[in-house]
Amino acid sequence: MDEHSAKKKILEFINTQQLAVISTVSPEDGPQGAVIEFGQTDALEIIFDTFGKSRKYKNILNNPHVAVTIGWDKNITVQYEGVAYELVGEELERAKQIYFKKNPKAQKWENVSGIVFLKVNPTWIRYSDLNVDPWEVFEVTFHQ
């Protein structure tokens, strides 16, 4: 499968998903996971919100490398690695539109004190569909 087709298939799948698990690294180098609602751009960037006091936010400030797992129902998953950063300015406003389009109920948090929005730029993604024989598994590496 060519890279364009692979990215399209990944995007089509994650468009159908509302939740993901994000894994961050604590200051003590321990793994920490959390469930997030998310949105995504056509470039496969992940957008999410959290409280500035959350463990994941503090961990990202210390080490921006994250892993995200999307899907687990119906034997299809996306394993995703990337680099996260806090959104500000015009980029923040554009990202909020994308995020709230997919997660309209999350808009109630938009102006709550302490909420921050982050974006993850992908570095590597693996797509796995175990419903077919042989399994469909492919990877895409992103060059920063």
pLDDT in tens, the chain (144 residues): 899 999 999 999 999 999 999 999 999 999 999 999 999 999 999 999 999 999 999 999 999 999 999 998 899 999 999 999 999 999 999 999 999 999 999 999 888 999 999 999 999 999 999 999 999 999 999 986
Q: What is the rounded CA–CA span in Å between residue 123 and residue 68? A: 11
Q: What is the pTM of this model?
A: 0.95
Q: Which is it for the CA torsion 32, 14, 1, 3, positive or negative? A: negative
Q: How far lies 51's CA from each of 43, 73, 77, 95, 135, in Å?
A: 25, 28, 27, 17, 38
Q: Look up the CATH architecture of domain 3-141.
A: Roll (2.30)
> What is the pLDDT at residue 60?
98
**Cα separation, 85 vs 62, whole angstroms:** 11
Tokens of 115: 């909420």
